[in-house]
Chains A and B, each alone.
Chain A
Amino acid sequence: MAFSTETIDPGAVTAIQDAALEAARRRGASDASVRVEEIRTQQVSLRDGDLESTVDDAQIGVGIRVVHEGSMGFAASVDLKLSGIPRLVDQAIDAAILTATARRRNFEQANEPSHGVIDWSSQYEIDPSVISLADKVAHLSHWSDRLLGAPGISHVSALVHSVTEVKYYADMAGTVATQRRVRIQPVVEAVSLDADGAFETMRTLAPPAGRGWEYVNGVGWDWEGELALMPERLIEKLRAPSVEPGRYDLVIDPTNLWLTIHESIGHATELDRAMGYEAAYAGTSFATFDQLGRLKYGSSVMNVTGDRTVEHGLATVAIDDEGVAAQSFDLIREGVLVGYQLDRSAAAIAGYERSNGCAFADSPLHVPIQRMANVSLQPAPGEGPTTADLIAGVEHGIFIEGDKSWSIDMQRYNFQFTGQRFYRIEGGRLAGQLRDVAYQATTTEFWGSMEAVGGRSTYLLNGAFNCGKAQPGQVASVSHGAPSALMRGVNVLNARAEGGR
């Protein structure tokens, strides 16, 4: 598929990379890497069928990271003028020298061999940036109108957000990579008001995906099917009884569980956090490095992997932003913590021989830091149970679909999540919707209560475009695969009662 947005001439990129690495060598840098990137971001939003806003943005820039006498320095600019590159290298070296006055330990990195020349693209059919604004508006209008035409629907918002990026990487080891990635997130949300002014909302459960415009056309998700059911589901939710707080058995759909995985496992198994390198901002982790191989994270049916290789994954690449080849690795095996997500710096500090490739910078103007791989809970081996099988094993509980509100503490212990839809389970069957459900737990207690995971048929790759970390803030996209899961005896709150109503 042709890539519509490349305005940077690859020959010019090679000249910039050569100039940067040469200048870094001349200034005595022991290591250097240079990224030239072009990122095209588009968003179209409709409110009640009318076009509300559009974003059509492209960013081009160059970022250079050097290691100089044991210090790291980074400088970046949107100005790609070749004659300005040595000055940018000077700025990176100056940053390394300035911070060396207060540095108390050397910046070190785990080794990574050269991977030579790489040319890689994510899996997609249609680059969303080639679709005209009129076509995008028409598609969202169609979705909006079919909901607005349904009885009981008061308001509808619809948007599609897409990113098309090309990243050129080169480092002193000799790795030279061109990577093209496409991702898309369509979202439709409906609002229903009752006569007293009470309201409920419902959002599509479709995950953001490492796919192109074909996703909107139905490749990978049944949009028509989901939108057809939304009005009646929303009306039922608006009329549903408010949940009685207490302990419940929960069957959690992957459309909800992915976010709990993200927050309570994904971030907690980032080694930079576990070692205190995010202490002042994103936080640390209860899963400290001294507990590796020993910490009982959850029940024996819990197996979690990190990977940057899965097809359509939002964190999937060929190499990371430190030149480390994409890998797949275990984080939790049979409920025990067995691994962490690493960048080269954290790997070196902890004594690993090699990074597992989790460095990422969200823009050419930001320094690469450790970011999340696609962290996924594995389904049961073989056929495994269906979601209906899991529900059948619950006498009195709640089935939860879709993510909504989320919050977790800075050591990733105590969390509270809500959702899009909650169904009462009575005698192994669904018995109508509930509202105002929030579940609150401590990470190890929650995963320890996981009695069963669903089989491959329940497995879905979900994810987010908006994972934040670090200062200055960086935003990353990441996918999380999950099966349905059965948890016993989880604390459920009533969100209205919490608000004193």
Chain B
Amino acid sequence: MAAHDGLAPAHDVIEAALKASRAMGCVVIVEETSDAEVRFANNTMTTNGQRRSRRVTVVSVRDVSGGVASGVASRDGAFDVVDLVREAEVSAGSSTPSSDAADLVGGPVASDFAEPAHETSLAIFDHIVHDLGGAFDRAEHAKSTLAGFVSHSLRTTYLGSSSGLRRRFVQPTGSFEMMSRAAGSASAWTGVGTPDFVGVSVGGFEEELSRRLAWAKRTIEVEAGRYDVVLPPTAVGDLMAFLYFYCGGQDAEDGKTVFSKAGGKTRVGEQLAALPFELRSDPREQGIECAPFLAISSSSPVASVFDNGIELGLTKWFDHGRLNALQYHRAGAARSRVDFAGPIDNLALELPGARGSASDLVATTERGLLLTCLWYTRVVDPATLLLTGLTRDGVYVIEDGKIVGATNNFRFNQSPVDLLANAAEAGMTVRTLSREFGDEFNRMAMPPLRVHDFNMSTVSPAN
């Protein structure tokens, strides 16, 4: 397979690589990705694209002085896979012993392993593109402007190991986002994550955005301060994403995170939320299903290339409001005498038994703010996981259970750990799309929350 001979079937590439391997262990991952997307702004279509890519990763495992080492090499495109195997072997041979070393994962041969990769195209959201034309005309007439993005991707992951394991998984990922800015200045955004665009319509989005822009006909100035706020599921997702990104067990033991305890310990077992929240990842979570096995091309503090192919199952990060688990690869988990907990590509927060939407939480709020979107959120202080960020595209004032107008944007400084601690009420968990992280982390299910003492640090003049 030279550079220009096209792409051989993925399972053949894996068998060829495993056959060529001279190391004591070898794992090969092929990810075939097919993408289609269109973008729009200022009431017209802007950029678009259709793409096909293939990434091949070879992990080679060798004995080295003092232990076992891994070597990894990845290529996107059509490369000589035997060269790639040799490169991974050289890399392993010149490495120091890996602190994340573990036996390669064994297991069954998937019956669909030799099935071809799935391909998508712009045709999957043809109806959305078609309806956008009419929406642009209506917006132009109303002197408002629409902007947004529609994308779909199908990724077929194949994983084979010298231990005999053969696994395959097809991951659909899609999203549709739209924002509207009214003639004056008010704006609103809505978005959805979807595997297939079934039930997703431009008309539904136009209605939701019109409803919010109507709230903004009255504007009320609000000063910086601590407020009761209602966060819709998308904004809860933006903040919970950080809990998930910073839940490494080793980092906590090293004293570097909000989950650290003095003396090289962690806060696992501590009651961090007043309400009995469950924060979990589960490859089988309905509506946000994701790969049930690990397939990674480089090790990190929480995941090891040695663990490739391992089964991933329901993991409760928070259980009954208690911190229940942090992420560890197998070697780290063994050292720390805890259970393995690998990275899973979805996240759900739920208050068992909770019902109702953000609107229902607004109805039970005497005085407060309804946020819609959070943006440019970054960690300020890892010791408390203090985040800073801004509100955008709609902050609304709640009085006596009703929305009475829109207000200015704020810069907030807030920790998601405190957010859970200060949550007074939650609604029903629904699939949502994080405004800021949805492109990278598409699969989330979150409830709306009502939270006390949310810290609006300053007013932002942006609108």
Given contacts A280-B178, A418-B380, contact A413 B461 (CB under 8 A): yes
- A-B interface, 5 closest residue pairs, ranked by CB to CB distance from nearest: A197-B262, A60-B77, A102-B133, A59-B76, A411-B462
Selected contact of B94 from candidates A132, A278, A283, CB within 8 Å: A132
Is A71's CB under 8 angstroms from B91's CB?
no
Instruction: Check A84 for interface membership: any CB of B closer than 8 A.
Output: yes
Instruction: Check A25 for interface membership: any CB of B closer than 8 A.
Output: no
CB contacts (< 8 Å) of B181 on chain A: these are 276, 279
CB contacts (< 8 Å) of B415 on chain A: these are 499-500
Task: Point out residues on A near B: beta carbons under 8 Å.
Answer: 7-9, 12, 43, 47, 50-61, 71-82, 84, 91-92, 94-96, 98-105, 132-134, 137, 154-155, 191, 193, 195-199, 201, 275-281, 283, 286, 365-367, 369, 405-414, 416, 418, 436, 438, 440, 442, 470-473, 493, 495-496, 498-501
Is B53's CB under 8 angstroms from A61's CB?
yes
CB contacts (< 8 Å) of A438 on chain B: these are 380, 388
Closest to A77 in B: B52
CB contacts (< 8 Å) of A367 on chain B: these are 47-49
Is A198's CB under 8 angstroms from B383's CB?
yes
B87-137 residues at the A interface, CB under 8 angstroms? 87, 90-91, 94-96, 98-100, 121-123, 126, 129-130, 132-133, 136-137
Instruction: Check B42 for interface membership: any CB of A closer than 8 A.
Output: yes
Bound form: Cα–Cα A411–B52 in Å: 34
Instruction: Check B228 for interface membership: any CB of A closer than 8 A.
Output: no
Selected contact of A154 from candidates B3, B140, B255, CB within 8 Å: B255
Instruction: Check B40 for interface membership: any CB of A closer than 8 A.
Output: yes
- Interface-facing stretch out of B143-151, B214-222, B234-242, B336-344: B143-151
Bound form: Cα–Cα A475–B78 in Å: 23
Bound form: Cα–Cα A405–B376 in Å: 11
Is A56's CB under 8 angstroms from B74's CB?
yes
Instruction: Check B46 for interface membership: any CB of A closer than 8 A.
Output: yes
Given contacts A101-B133, A277-B46, contact A61 B299 (CB under 8 A): no
Task: Write 12 A-B pairs (CB below 8 A) sorted by A numbering.
Answer: A47-B301, A51-B95, A52-B99, A57-B73, A95-B50, A95-B122, A104-B45, A133-B94, A155-B254, A279-B147, A409-B462, A436-B381
Measured between C-beta atoms, what is the minimum distance from B246 to chain A in Å?
14
Is B462's CB under 8 angstroms from A276's CB?
no
Instruction: Check B278 for interface membership: any CB of A closer than 8 A.
Output: no
We find that the number of chain B residues with CB closer than 8 angstroms to chain A is: 108
Is A75's CB under 8 angstroms from B50's CB?
yes
Closest to B94 in A: A134
CB contacts (< 8 Å) of A278 on chain B: these are 41
CB contacts (< 8 Å) of B360 on chain A: these are none
CB contacts (< 8 Å) of A410 on chain B: these are 375-376, 390, 392, 462
Measured between C-beta atoms, what is the minimum distance from B94 to chain A in Å?
4
Instruction: Check B333 for interface membership: any CB of A closer than 8 A.
Output: no
Is B297's CB under 8 angstroms from A55's CB?
yes
Bound form: Cα–Cα A457–B406 in Å: 50
Closest to A53 in B: B299
Bound form: Cα–Cα A326–B187 in Å: 37
Is A81's CB under 8 angstroms from B5's CB?
yes
Given contacts A82-B4, A154-B255, contact A277 B41 (CB under 8 A): yes
Bound form: Cα–Cα A473–B177 in Å: 14
Bound form: Cα–Cα A418–B378 in Å: 11
Given contacts A75-B49, A133-B95, A367-B47, contact A405 B41 (CB under 8 A): no
Interface centre among A55, A99, A193, A280 (most CB of B within 10 A): A280
CB contacts (< 8 Å) of A471 on chain B: these are 37, 39, 149, 151, 177, 439
Bound form: Cα–Cα A132–B388 in Å: 40
Is B376's CB under 8 angstroms from A440's CB?
no
CB contacts (< 8 Å) of A98 on chain B: these are 38, 48, 122-123, 126, 129
Is B440's CB under 8 angstroms from A196's CB?
no
Bound form: Cα–Cα A105–B42 in Å: 10
Instruction: Check B24 for interface membership: any CB of A closer than 8 A.
Output: no
Closest to B181 in A: A279
Closest to B422 in A: A500
CB contacts (< 8 Å) of B440 on chain A: these are 473
Measured between C-beta atoms, what is the minimum distance from B235 to chain A in Å?
15
Selected contact of A279 from candidates B6, B41, B462, B463, CB within 8 Å: B41
Bound form: Cα–Cα A196–B260 in Å: 11
Instruction: Check B386 for interface membership: any CB of A closer than 8 A.
Output: yes
CB contacts (< 8 Å) of B130 on chain A: these are 101-102
Bound form: Cα–Cα A276–B52 in Å: 29
Given contacts A81-B5, A197-B263, A367-B47, contact A54 B461 (CB under 8 A): no
Closest to B382 in A: A201
Is B145's CB under 8 angstroms from A51's CB?
no
CB contacts (< 8 Å) of A414 on chain B: these are 390, 411, 458-462
B336-395 residues at the A interface, CB under 8 angstroms? 375-384, 386, 388-390, 392
Bound form: Cα–Cα A410–B91 in Å: 43
Bound form: Cα–Cα A25–B300 in Å: 48
Instruction: Check B75 for interface membership: any CB of A closer than 8 A.
Output: yes
CB contacts (< 8 Å) of B5 on chain A: these are 81
Is B132's CB under 8 angstroms from A102's CB?
yes
CB contacts (< 8 Å) of A496 on chain B: these are 381, 384
CB contacts (< 8 Å) of B90 on chain A: these are 133
Is B72's CB under 8 angstroms from A55's CB?
yes
Q: Mark B435-463, 1 if CB is under 8 A from A, else 0.
A: 00001100000000000010101111111
Bound form: Cα–Cα A473–B262 in Å: 39
Is A104's CB under 8 angstroms from B122's CB?
no
Selected contact of B379 from candidates A51, A95, A405, CB within 8 Å: A405
CB contacts (< 8 Å) of A57 on chain B: these are 73-76, 297
Instruction: Check B201 for interface membership: any CB of A closer than 8 A.
Output: no
Measured between C-beta atoms, what is the minimum distance from B178 to chain A in Å?
7
